[in-house]
Each structure stands twice: as C-alpha cells, then as structure tokens.
C-alpha cells in the first residue's frame, strides 16, 4: 500500500522542464514594443519545474491512492457507479469530435451535429419527452436550467409563481437550484412508506407554486406510488412537475417520466448513461421538456433542415431563456453516452435497469437481518439501510462502518443521506457487478456488524489499511490551508 506522496512543488528544481515547444519562427521584438510595460508580468508564476518523468511518476503514484470503479466495488448511493466502457473513451477522442471548434461552420461539423440530433431523439424516447438541450454540464446545472424554463413559462402566461416544492428527502441540489432560480423553497414531508405525503403536498401546493421537484425512484430508492395523484395535484393548480433524473437507472425501458406526468426532466449522463465521473466531473445534465416548453429551452438547438438534409443551429428562439453554457455543453461526455446507448440498444437499457433493481434488492434482503431497514418495501436501484442499531447498542456510528468498509477494499455507501433517515447508508450496487462481488460485499457488511458487537474499537479507529488513516476534517475547516506555500 502506497502512503502519502510529495507535492509536485516539492519535487521542483530550478531550470528543469518538461516543455517541448517550437521556436517562434517569426520576428521576436522586445515584448514591451508590443504591449505596454505595465501590463506585463513581473514575477513568473510559482509552477513546479520538473521533468516529464517526474510528472508521469508523480501522477501515476497519485492515481494509485484512489479507489475507483476500475479497481473495486463502488456502491455509492445516488451516484450510479456502473462500469465505464472503454470504447466510449476512444469514441470521445476521435479527431472529428475532440478536435473541432464550436464556432466552425455547420457544414464542417455535420457528424457532431447529427450525433447531438440523434441523441435528442434517443433521450426523448427514453424519457417520454419532446426535446432535449445538451448545454447543462452536470445534474445541478440541468436542475437550474429546468427551473429557468419553468419560470419563463409561467411568466409568459403572465403568472408570477415564486415557490418550488421540494420533498424532505430531496438532494441538496434541488433547493439550492431553486434558490438560484430566484424561487422560494417549500419543503414537503414524506409519509411512513417513504413516499411524498400527499396530504402535506395538498396543503402546500397552490397558486404560488411554480413546480414540484421530484426524484423517482426517490432518494430512499423507493418508487413514488402516488405519482398519479401527485401529478394531478400539481397540474391542477397550474404548476409543473420537474423530474430529477439522478435515479433514472431504475426505470429505463420500464417506465418514463413523461408518461408519469413530468414536464421537465434532467438526466445525469455520468450516472445513468455510464460516462465516467472523473473524480468529480465532467458530467452532463441534458434537460428534456414536453412540447409546450420547447420554446423556452436554451438556444441554440440542433435542427434538421428538411430541404437541404443539413443539420443547422436554430438560434431563432425568441422565448428562449438564453444560454446556460458558454458553448454546446459537455459534448465530449455526450459522445460517450451516445456510444453507450448504441451499445445497449432498447433491450440492453431495459435489462440494465432490471439487473440494477435486482442487485439492490438482493443486497437489501441479505443485509436486513444485520442492519435496520427503515422502509421495508421492495426497493428500486438502491436501498437505504440504517446503522441505528449499531449506534444504539454498541456506540458505533455509521461513519465508523463506512470507514471500516474501506479496509475490505470496498468504497463506502453514501452515508447520512437522505437526511430523513437517522444513520443512513444508501447502497447502490448497479447492474454491472456480478453476484460474486455482491456476495463479497455482503459478507464484509455482515462481518462489520459482528465487529460492532465484539470489537467496536476496530471500527472507531478505521480505516487501518488505506494510504492514510482517518483524516482530521475539523482541523482542516478551522484553519483552512487551501494551497501549498513555498517555505521561505
């Protein structure tokens, strides 16, 4: 096991370089003859001075300190850490995708535009929507885009609706996105089955409601059984229904948000559609809408000109909310998702959701005897267990359980979320893990439950076999050190 590594700045030696650059080949007058002296830089930036080998070893060594999908099981709930197919990486790097500029004439980028156009068709079919924009670069970016659209729609009807309803089980991005769209947040309670409390919703929805944001299956991994009634209530007062697609891996080919009554959808391409998460991004958060909302989508959209058979940018969208991204969104990520959809086909996508749901139920039922299960229902693609028993009886916190899992070579589940479950552990196995892997994980969880009874101290001090031991987050936040500073 590798331990802590030097910072690259600590490897620096004056005069060393890895740069390989051409000579200017043109006249090189004094800089100050081209630019005013006062706009020139006086001191060079404190970048490291290292050789190419230094750089390669440093970052390879750093990479080896990471847990990743490619070196172990990653059951992080709500994140859909499925296998990231390698062919998709090659696809995004093809020169006709990677080496093209967004301002090129349409005639010179027809392949890329065709890909976006067909992806719009695929995602619209997958979600039961009418049209997608690819500008949003991530899920939260999709949320705020969808809310801008909803806001513009209401305003176009002369209605000033200011409230967004958000269930208490929602991702933090939901209320944050609603606030970013200038909306007031109204929290809706969950009922004892883990669904939206319809009575509470009824009391809160009204003429000021702009939208309800719903994740379905929700963050408890449970399908909203009352979605028809919810949709009727929300639409009945003139508000719209927003679908947070973070959990769409449960329902591909099984059920569609558009059919359930949702008006706006975002998908997390880096979850459901297999593109890698990159250690925190880039993802993509395409947003789809029903036809009555199409005029409000960010401009431009790709359009097929029937007369010429050419794909063109459609800028003529007077009701558009405007741009949400400098260019076309995370196109390179969309290429990977396109390759995934074509690799899976309609049967494969449906099978993926079925296997994902089966895997989550398998883990849930196998672990049910050992951990508390706050909502005892068949789950969808993820399950939420609770470490309440371990905390109450053995003084072991869910954090300790999570850290101990790392010693077994597994990533921890999402913990302490959703907020409405005490000591929550949200486990999402995904369809790309074999039964043998799930069994090994289950065995580790059972072993940890026993350790909690017999040797709680082992859990309190965990992890023991990771590149570093448990890190002091309090110290980090009290006296923030956010950059390296050269010792003088």
Residue with tokens 């892997």: 437
Q: Which of 196, 289, 337, 349 binds another protein (CB under 8 A)?
A: 349
Closest distance between another protein and the C-beta of residue 456, in Å?
16
Residue with tokens 């916190």: 397
Q: Which of 159, 376, 434, 443 binds another protein (CB under 8 A)?
A: 434
Q: Which of residues 283-312 bind another protein (CB under 8 A)?
A: 283, 298
Closest distance between another protein and the C-beta of residue 473, in Å?
4
- The alpha carbon of 165 is separated from its chain's Cα centroid by a whole number of angstroms, namely 21
Q: Which of residues 179-198 bind another protein (CB under 8 A)?
A: 179-183, 185
d(CA 394, CA 412): 20
d(CA 416, CA 459): 17
The structure tokens listed for 460 are: 């309190």
Give the H/E segment covering residue 149. helix 139-156
The structure tokens listed for 481 are: 């050190």
Q: Which of residues 217-246 bind another protein (CB under 8 A)?
A: 222-223, 225, 227-228
Query: Of the listed pieces 5-13, 289-297, 390-398, 449-457, which binds another protein according to CB under 8 A?
Result: 5-13
d(CA 270, CA 445): 27
Q: Which of 161, 270, 394, 397 binds another protein (CB under 8 A)?
A: 270
How many other β-carbons are positioned within 10 Å of the β-carbon of residue 310?
Answer: 14
Phi-psi region at 222: left, alpha or beta (left = phi > 0; alpha = psi -120 to 50):
beta
Return the SS3 of 369.
Answer: coil
Contact between 454 and another protein per CB under 8 A: no
Query: Residue 158 or 453: which CB sits closer to another protein?
Result: 158
First-to-final CA distance of the chain: 33
Query: Residue 10 or 453: which CB sits closer to another protein?
Result: 10
Q: Which of residues 114-133 bind another protein (CB under 8 A)?
A: 114-115, 122, 125-126
Query: Of the listed pieces 197-205, 340-348, 388-396, 444-452, which binds another protein according to CB under 8 A?
Result: 340-348
Closest distance between another protein and the C-beta of residue 350, in Å?
7
Contact between 111 and another protein per CB under 8 A: yes
Strand partners, 265: 243, 288
How many other β-carbons are positioned within 10 Å of the β-carbon of residue 97?
Answer: 19
Query: Of the listed pieces 236-244, 287-295, 325-333, 450-458, which binds another protein according to CB under 8 A?
Result: 325-333
Query: Of the listed pieces 87-95, 237-245, 389-397, 447-455, which binds another protein according to CB under 8 A?
Result: 87-95
């Amino acid at each position: 096991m590798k331990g802590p590594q030097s910072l690259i700045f600590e490897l620096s030696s004056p005069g060393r370089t890895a740069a390989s650059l051409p000579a200017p080949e043109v006249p090189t007058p004094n800089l100050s003859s081209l630019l005013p002296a006062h706009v020139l830089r006086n001191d060079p930036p404190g970048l490291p001075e290292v050789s190419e080998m230094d750089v390669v070893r440093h970052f390879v060594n750093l990479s080896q300190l990471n847990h990743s999908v490619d070196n172990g099981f990653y059951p992080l709930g709500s994140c859909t850490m499925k296998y990231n197919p390698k062919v998709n990486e090659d696809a995004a790097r093809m020169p006709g995708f990677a080496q093209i500029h967004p301002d090129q004439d349409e005639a010179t980028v027809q392949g890329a535009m065709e890909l976006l156009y067909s992806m719009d068709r695929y995602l619209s079919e997958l979600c039961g929507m009418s049209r997608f924009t690819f500008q949003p670069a991530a899920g939260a970016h999709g949320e705020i885009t969808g809310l801008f659209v909803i806001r513009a729609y209401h305003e176009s009807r002369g209605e000033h609706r200011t409230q967004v309803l958000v269930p208490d089980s929602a991702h933090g991005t939901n209320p944050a996105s609603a606030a970013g769209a200038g909306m007031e947040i109204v929290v809706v309670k969950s009922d004892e089955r883990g669904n939206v409390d319809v009575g509470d919703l009824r009391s809160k929805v009204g003429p000021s409601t702009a939208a309800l944001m719903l994740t379905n299956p929700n963050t408890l991994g449970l399908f909203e059984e009352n979605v028809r009634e919810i949709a009727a209530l929300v639409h009945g007062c003139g508000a719209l229904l927003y679908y947070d697609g973070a959990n769409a891996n449960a329902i591909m080919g099984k059920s569609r948000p558009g059919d359930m009554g949702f008006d706006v959808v975002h998908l997390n391409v880096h979850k459901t559609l297999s593109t890698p998460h990159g250690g925190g991004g880039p993802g993509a958060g395409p947003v789809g809408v029903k036809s009555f909302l199409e005029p409000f989508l960010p401009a431009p959209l790709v359009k097929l000109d029937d007369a010429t058979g050419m794909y063109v940018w459609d800028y003529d969208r007077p009701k558009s909310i405007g741009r949400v991204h400098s260019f076309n969104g995370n196109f390179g990520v969309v290429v990977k998702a396109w390759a995934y959809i074509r690799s899976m086909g309609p049967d494969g996508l449906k099978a993926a959701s079925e296997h994902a749901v089966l895997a989550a139920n398998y883990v849930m039922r196998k672990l049910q005897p050992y951990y508390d299960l706050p909502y005892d229902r068949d789950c969808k693609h993820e399950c939420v267990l609770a470490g309440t028993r371990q905390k109450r009886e053995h003084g072991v916190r869910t954090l300790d359980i999570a850290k101990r899992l790392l010693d077994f070579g597994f990533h921890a589940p999402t913990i302490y979320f959703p907020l409405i479950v005490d000591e929550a552990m949200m486990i999402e196995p995904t369809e790309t893990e074999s039964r043998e892997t799930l069994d090994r994980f289950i065995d580790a969880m059972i072993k940890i439950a026993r350790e909690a009874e017999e040797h709680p101290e082992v859990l309190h001090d965990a992890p023991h076999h990771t590149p570093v031991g448990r890190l002091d987050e309090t110290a980090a936040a009290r006296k923030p050190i956010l950059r390296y500073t050269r010792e003088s």
